[in-house]
Structure 1
Amino acid sequence: MDFKLPFIFALAFSLICAIGFGLIGLIISDEKITNFDQTVISFIQSFEHPTITRIMKVFTFIGGGVPVGIITVISVLFLYKVLNHRMELVLLIGVTIGSAMINTVLKEIYHRSRPVIHRIIEETGFSYPSGHSMAAFSLYGVLAFLLWRHIKTSLGRTLLIIISSLMILLIGVSRIYLGVHYPTDVLGGFLASGSWLTIAIWFYQWFQEKRWERKRPGQ
């Protein structure tokens, strides 16, 4: 059975994510949030080890612009050549490009500087929300949605959700571990993408239903 996203649920979830993102944006300069961010960063970086650092650098690389673009292209080719789906390509490309555009706009709005506690790597640009976190949530979230309908077994679907969730989580954590984002940057990125992805999926399903209604005999 294909996953269906009811309008009320989609609207409610998208609004909750958007409100959560907005609330974080309002209090990112508050001292309590700053202390929270610094405490979480210190805890995560307390596990610093050369091997862990190499692993985190791999995940942060995977969440970057070029790898995300490559993964998107490979996914597009797979959906088109192997599964012969075209409308799914529009959703995949639209979600990934839209996420990048939204992130750019939001960074310019909030102008939050990056943390300076302990940077393992160097990054430029503003901090809130995390672009890597937004890209990961959007890409692996939409891939999980699109591949779900092509996987028929419960085990396969469970593995799909676990792998997608781990990729999203580890890319987000890698940004905190490497010292280039606050935890609230990562959380804000997840919430922003959650809002965008939910609406995009609902609109895609609504459009698909309208197409089938027009093609239905007797209509």
Structure 2
Amino acid sequence: MLRRFSRRVKRFWAQLALLSVEMTIVLVLFVIALTAFVYITRRVFVLNKTKLDNAVFNYLKAHVSERNNDIMEFFTFLGTHQFLIPANLSLIAYFLFIKKHKWHSIKIPAIALSSLGLMFLLKGLFDRKRPSVPLLFEAKGLSFPSGHALMSVTFYGLLIYMIFKSVKNPALKWTLIGLLIILIIIIGSSRVYLRVHYATDVIAGYCIGFLWLVFTVWMLNKIEKHSKRKFDKVVEKPELKAA
């Protein structure tokens, strides 16, 4: 009996330590993303610095080719609404009808729609024009922050969070997470390669996307726990009366 209790106590402290490590890492990344966003915003709109944007454009210019054009157009498509809307709807259907996980099916559209609203709000607030000479095609709308970068972080980042929490096999878990991180980076880079965004637009999109994802996941998890506690109380009351 004592041995079993001792094992449970050790398991509890191990889980608590792991949770603390996770929270510490997320908090550090949150502070870094916030600091980077403030720094980029000040650099672009207060100091009017363009050195980084020009340097990245010049570097990518040396790598322009027909093959790379096709590759970057494909990856940029994976960050468009034409792809993300069906992808979100498919995920909602999967969690709602197959996995029967109601809260995941709520979190997905809540994060997607709020991210979209935040993107339009920030674009209107900063009102930065896009690069004047795109590589292949013109893009509509304003430039800062990059919508592709922001929406990629919130959508694929949510997938990363779900994989981290649900996939048990460590090799599979970290392989999937690594591939999704690479995908996010390439989607953002494709926008600069195609000259429809500045590098600072993409960095800002990554930062604000991460900040919003962390905030919304935390908030929705709080609401989920509160809702479950209320439901449990409602279920318990009839049982007490029956007793």
TM-score past 0.5 threshold: yes
2:128 equivalent to 1:116: no
Instruction: Supply the distance in 1 between the matched residues of 2:90 and 2:19 (Cα, whole angstroms).
Output: 25
Q: Give the one of 181, 199, 217 matched to 2:215.
A: 199
Kept in 2: contact 1:13–1:198 (CA 8 A):
no
Equivalent residue for 1:64? 80
Aligned to 1:165: 181
Question: Secondary structure of 1:207's partner?
Answer: helix
Question: Which residue in 1 is equivalent to 2:63?
Answer: 47
Establish whether residue 133 from structure 1 lines up as the match of residue 133 from structure 2: no
The alignment's TM-score, normalised by the length of structure 2, stands at 0.80
Greater CA drift, 140-149 or 68-77: 140-149
Q: 2 CA distance for matches of 1:9 and 1:156? A: 21
In the alignment, which residue of structure 2 is the partner of 1:144? 160
**Kept in 1: contact 2:75–2:187 (CA 8 A):** yes
Matched to 2:77, the amino acid is: F
Shift of 1:213: 4.0
- After superposing the two structures, state which structure 1 stretch, 52-61 or 159-168, moved more: 159-168
Question: What are the ranges of 5 or more consecutive residues in structure 2 without an aligned counterpart?
Answer: 1-14, 238-243
Identify which of structures 1 and 2 has the higher relative contact order when contacts are C-alpha pairs closer than 8 Å and 6+ apart: 1
Instruction: Please state how far the C-alpha of 1:149 moved relative to its aligned partner.
Output: 2.8
2: CA distance, partners of 1:57 / 1:77: 28
Counterpart CA distance in 1 for 2:175 and 2:24 is 28
Structure 2 residue 113 is matched with structure 1 residue 97: yes
Instruction: Give the number of the structure whose residues are more often helix, by fraction.
Output: 2
* Inter-partner Cα distance in structure 2 for 1:202 and 1:11: 12
User: C-alpha separation between the residues in 1 aligned to 2:61 and 2:95?
Assistant: 39
Q: Which residue of 2 aligns with 1:81?
A: 97
Q: Whole-Å Cα distance in 2 between the matches of residues 4 and 77 of structure 1?
A: 30
Identity %: 23
Pair member with larger Rg? 2
Tell me the CA shift for residue 10 of structure 1: 5.6
Residue 62 of structure 1, CA deviation: 1.6
1:105 shift after superposition: 0.5
The structural deviation recorded for 1:195 is 0.7
Is the Cα contact below 8 Å between 1:115 and 1:182 reproduced in 2?
yes
Label 1:41 to 1:4 Cα distance change in 2 as closer, same or farther (>3 A).
Answer: farther
- What letter corresponds to residue 176 of structure 2 in structure 1? L
| Secondary structure of the structure 2 residue equivalent to 1:20 | helix
Cα deviation for residue 122 of structure 1 reads: 1.1
Contact 1:25–1:110 at 8 Å: present in 2 too?
Answer: no
Unpaired segments ≥5 residues, structure 1: none
- State whether residues 163 and 177 of structure 2, in contact with CA within 8 Å, keep that contact through their aligned partners in structure 1: no
Kindly state the Cα deviation for residue 78 of structure 1 after the two structures are TM-superposed. 1.4
Is the partner of 2:214 in helix, strand or coil? helix
Partner of 2:170: 154
Specify which of 24, 29, 37 is matched with residue 21 of structure 1.
37
> After superposition, what is the alpha-carbon deviation per residue over 1:162-191, rounded to whole angstroms, capped at 9, x for unaligned?
121122111100000000001100000000
Give the 3 Å change call, closer, same or farther, for CA 120–105 of structure 1 in structure 2.
same
Aligned AA (1:102): L
Q: Which moved more, 1:112-121 or 1:172-181?
A: 112-121
TM-score by length of 1: 0.88
